[in-house]
Amino acid sequence: MTNSAKTPTGKAKKGQVTVRLDSGSIKACFPRSYCNQGQIKLATGISLIDGWESKANQLQRRLQIELEEGKLDDGEGNFNLGRYQDILKEYGLQARLRLVKSVVTSDDQLPPKPEMSLMEVWDMYCEYKKSGLRESTYENMFLGQLKNFLHSAIEATKSEDAIKIRNWLVDNRNQESVKCLLSNLSKAYRMGMKNKLLTHNPFEGLWQKK
């Protein structure tokens, strides 16, 4: 699909909208050529759980049509934030909105998107697990003890290296809790890979090693 192709309304396309993972959340990214503000990224309110891609694809198609029909332009060459917010409401989405211009490299290409941080992966996993756990277990264990263990390991090792994290935990925390945390971290990364948010699982099998 090229920018010179015609839409069903006969208007030339104005670039492609993407709805994708960016810095730990799902954002709508609009082409730099569309308005005077350069490329714009906006939160969508789409939750990082199983099936998020279907919702993202639906929103992307709608936003592409709106962009091609000029409805996301406020008439003065600026992005129509009010219209965007109305579209989110139609899809049952809410998001804290602020215009964010992307950094562009010298060859006019967007830099590669980073992988999620370790804490972002954990928070995503906790959100997914929330509905299947007792509230006390969710808050005391997943948002409490295990998250604190993970945060302490990251701070102590000054890294997110899985082996360093695992070794510090083994040396500084009780065995059963460490096994539980490492096992759940592996599950969290597997879920991220399944949803194409992550490319590998550095914690695979680490909880089984002595």
Q: What domains can you pick out in the chain, each with its CATH number?
A: 18-101 (no CATH), 118-208 (1.10.150)
Q: Which two tokens stand for residue 189?
A: 């990364």
Encode pLDDT of 76-108 as tens digits: 777 787 888 889 888 888 766 554 444 333 333
**Regarding beta strands 40-43 and 25-30, do their DSSP bridges make them parallel or antiparallel, or are they unpaired?**
antiparallel
The pTM for the full model equals 0.49
Report whether pLDDT(57) > 70.
yes
Q: In what order do the strands lie in the sheet with 100-101?
A: 18-22, 25-30, 40-43, 100-101
Report whether pLDDT(197) > 50.
yes
Give the 3-state secondary structure of 186-200. Answer: HHHHHHHHHCCCCCC
